[in-house]
Structure 1
Amino acid sequence: MSQRSRRLLRGTGIVCALALAGTLTACGGSDDSGSGPDKLSASDVEAALEKGGTVTVWAWEPTLKQVAADFQKEHPKVKVKLVNAGTGNDQYKALQNAIAAKKGVPDVAQVEYYAMGQYALTKELTDLKKFGADKLADQFSPGPWNGIKASGDGLYGLPMDSGPMALFYNKKVFDKHGIKVPTTWDEYVAAARALHKADPKAYITNDTGDAGFTTSMLWQAGSRPYKVDGTKVHIDFSDAGASKYTSTWQKLLDDKLVAPVTSWSDEWYKGLGDGTIATLAIGAWMPANLASGVKDAAGDWRVAPLPQWTAGDKASAENGGSALALPELGGHEALAYAFIEYANAGKGVDTRVKGGAFPATTAQLESASFQNTAFPYFGGQQANKIFAQSAAAVPDDWSYLPYQVYANSIFNDTAGKAYVSGTTLADGLKAWQDASVKYGDEQGFTVEK
């Protein structure tokens, strides 16, 4: 992905209303969805490949271009039509419009994990268990596999990539000021104070409020603010894990120890390059973005495990990542499934990894060739070893809201107030909770808090 599409994008997507009686109203769904028989065998898929046809894929992931070319060589009767319908929420809007119109729905769509529940709950994605996709569970790391479940016990996509978190830090800056790499978040706060005291222009990191980063941090801290059971939703940002995060991060905000710089802005890239932004706690897809966007700092940066909330722990979290899913109203579902299995669980995985994608598959994560890869940008460090350890340490019991796309879009108007006013982060999360509850009630969910 590009540097901008790698992040968790905030959007304004709207979930279609749910019938208050408890019967889900699928947006544009119908009985002639083309979902076919309950089960499709491998022979059915092979027969579809032999017959051929065109598979339309909506995705912004650039490595799929080579995957599609390779797939077509192996199956000359099949044409893969790649369409970039937008990144993240731009595509989701286009997809929702196509579903509502029952026209132009793609056979395959790229969907980020945080948005998966929106489409799964409203029956707009095919449950891939009909293809036996549940047998692939052991091939994927826990975080991404958890992400495709979304609602109930269905499987609504195959993981394409993942974003296990790590701490990227500027070793040159740390060495200059005698700062040790923090192993806990308390040490991180101490490092932030020491750095800013030594150089008032330097900050441990930047943060202006981001829903994706916040949910990732809550995930690692053990908070589980969202519990989802069909149309029943529980939202609570007051558990012990959330308190760990808010009490620690509030210290950084109170003492003005984080740069008020928006991620992915020109100022952000400049800060990463000149050392005034010294660390990033972010997904393992970040190396390519640093190498392309902060070229002059090559050799200055290194990677370390994510700091822990309790010394000695080894918990991590996902930050970003997406799957390939089959919209119910799409056609050629046997061909579509053949393509996403090839891309995400077959030969296409190595192709995408070579192209710079970060894998969700354990075989690649655990392979010697992957882990021993030296990153010139990080002074020859074998950073994939840290990323692989992080992927294995992601708890698999995290849930997103079925309307997380909307919830993320109102983050800055609620929790984001903590970054621009006297509102505390804990109170900001409470405001986010209340607004999310209100929206869920309006959409027909049974919401508890």
Structure 2
Amino acid sequence: MKNWWKATGLAAAGAMMLAGCSGTDGGSGSGGEDGETTLTAWAWNVNVGALEDAMALYQEENPDVKIEVEDIGRLDVYDKLSTGLAAGGVGLPDIVLVEDDRIGGYAQAFPDGFLNLSEKGFEDNADQFPSFKQDLATVNDSFYAMPFDAGPGGMFYRRSIFEEASVNPEDIETWDDFLEAGKKIKEATGVAAMPLDKFNDDPTFRMMLNQLGTYYFDENGNIDLTSPEAVMAMEKQMAFEEADLIKEVDGWNGTVSATIDGSVATIPFGAWYYGTIIDQAKDTSGDWGVFLLPAFEEGGNRASNLGGSSWMIPSGGDNEDAAYDFLEFFSTSPEAQVIAMEDYGLFPSLNAAYEEEVFTSEDEFFGGQKIWELFADEMADVETPYYTEDYALGLDEAIKAQADSFNGTDPAEALKAAAERLAERTDREINN
């Protein structure tokens, strides 16, 4: 397992704040008078229901354990978590959901703030998860999180649009293939190839970087925005812009609107976007399909990931052992993971879950395609994205580089300027 997390002044400050504080008012879970244990958890959105359903399964063998999940919103979770950790663990729950790009940052900034799961034996479960999820859940060779959902990437496409343009998705193997297909679709239907919030988000660029085995940072924590792969990815994205194949949208709602009204032929996103499609575009059942991201060269890597999260246990609470036992069950139970996917659209990171029947079943909404099998098959080939605790700054500068490219700056120059700004903001070296 790789470790690229770089200690910073924030990490040192976190260590000082928590030194000698772990174990004081750390958890708000409780043991009842009748021997019952009530675990507390913070999560958001569909993850709340998934956690509650997993507990229902767990209670079949552990009836004296219960859970109270507080749905406080994604950003509110992080605000409260940071505040509680800075206060030495006061008021924190027994369990908290954390997105993969934030795990290492928290574990570095607050080294005594979370349970070292390897010391509890979670290392024995490592091989049950794809290698990139193992990497993201570990810091300094120890697990600090239990892998939960992932976001294997794909191109969600409208069958009717492709058929009208006489384009066969099976013929699209490379980004150049997709560029030519996009031109053909635009000419025949007037529809753009894909949506993008050009000046505020870079999901397609991120997935391209991931499939090329690079990211904002390399495995040593150095800035990698000037790598040949990063330049190639930005240039490829700009080729679609120059061909007028990108529909500019306004954030998430704009992407959803383009999905509903059919003004784009594809949406490059993680597997979790399935839930949005079937919920927001109910009357398009049967008109959808999925193919993997095109490769940059024939026979190249088409696997990618966008998003994903894991469970962490704040240290010092009264219910550490109970929280660990429950989460280990949840993380390694194929049944619990399949329920989370079928009911909430949360794609599992557990390898054994891919052997379940749902992964070989046909999806009616997607024209009878075995879409879950497609997503599962790419998981083993996903490269590790090197987030570091400076991921938010890397994202900010990458988006600025993308915006500059759309405004006419040469992609290589835009990325070089972004890397230099990022170096000033993080004190990291640029990988030349």
Q: Shorter-chain TM-score: what band?
A: 0.7 to 0.9
Q: CA deviation at 1:447?
A: 4.0
2:214 matches 1:223: yes
Q: Note if contact 1:163-1:284 (Cα within 8 Å) is conserved in structure 2.
A: yes
1:156 equivalent in structure 2: 144
Question: CA–CA distance in 2 between the matches of 1:342 and 1:115?
Answer: 23
Question: CA–CA distance in 1 between the matches of 2:366 and 2:204?
Answer: 23
1:389 equivalent in structure 2: 377
2:99 matches 1:108: no
Matched residue pairs, number? Answer: 408
Supply the AA of the counterpart residue of 1:402.
Answer: E
Question: CA–CA distance in 1 between the matches of 2:13 and 2:309?
Answer: 25
For 2:161, what is the secondary structure of its paired residue? helix
Question: CA–CA distance in 2 between the matches of 1:431 and 1:31?
Answer: 43
Q: Note if contact 2:419-2:430 (Cα within 8 Å) is conserved in structure 1.
A: no
2:166 matches 1:178: yes
After TM superposition, list the pairs within 5 Å mapping 1:188-199 onto structure 2. 188-199=178-189
For 1:319, what is the secondary structure of its paired residue? strand
Supply the AA of the counterpart residue of 2:107.
Answer: A
Q: CA deviation at 1:448?
A: 4.4
2:37 matches 1:53: yes
> 286, 300, 306: which one pairs with 1:313?
300
2:333 matches 1:349: no
Q: Note if contact 1:366-1:388 (Cα within 8 Å) is conserved in structure 2.
A: no
Range 137-146 or range 421-430, more displaced: 421-430
Deviations, residues 91-130 of structure 1 (Å, cap 9, x unaligned): 2122101212332112211111111121121213322101
1:146 equivalent in structure 2: 135
Q: Note if contact 2:52-2:67 (Cα within 8 Å) is conserved in structure 1.
A: no
Deviations, residues 182-209 of structure 1 (Å, cap 9, x unaligned): 2111111112222222333x10001124
For 1:423, what is the secondary structure of its paired residue? coil
Q: Note if contact 1:163-1:358 (Cα within 8 Å) is conserved in structure 2.
A: yes
Q: CA deviation at 1:19?
A: 3.3
Q: Note if contact 2:401-2:411 (Cα within 8 Å) is conserved in structure 1.
A: no
For 2:126, what is the secondary structure of its paired residue? helix
Q: Note if contact 1:415-1:427 (Cα within 8 Å) is conserved in structure 2.
A: no
Question: CA–CA distance in 1 between the matches of 2:421 and 2:241?
Answer: 23
Q: CA deviation at 1:263?
A: 4.5
For 2:311, what is the secondary structure of its paired residue? strand
Q: Structure 1 regions of 5+ residues with no counterpart?
A: 1-14, 36-46
After TM superposition, list the pairs within 5 Å mapping 1:129-140 onto structure 2. 129-140=118-129
Distance change >3 Å, CA 54–CA 248, structure 1 → 2: same
Range 350-359 or range 246-255, more displaced: 350-359
Distance change >3 Å, CA 375–CA 28, structure 1 → 2: farther
Supply the AA of the counterpart residue of 2:267.
Answer: L
Q: CA deviation at 1:304?
A: 1.4
2:82 matches 1:96: yes
Deviations, residues 272-328 of structure 1 (Å, cap 9, x unaligned): 233211112211222221110111221111111221111123441211110001123
1:5 equivalent in structure 2: none
TM-score for the superposition, normalised by structure 1:
0.83
> 361, 369, 375: which one pairs with 1:373?
361
Q: Note if contact 1:108-1:330 (Cα within 8 Å) is conserved in structure 2.
A: no
Supply the AA of the counterpart residue of 1:310.
Answer: E
2:231 equivalent in structure 1: 243
Distance change >3 Å, CA 358–CA 221, structure 1 → 2: same
Range 55-64 or range 73-82, more displaced: 73-82
2:412 equivalent in structure 1: 426
Q: CA deviation at 1:52?
A: 4.5
1:292 equivalent in structure 2: 279
Distance change >3 Å, CA 263–CA 178, structure 1 → 2: farther
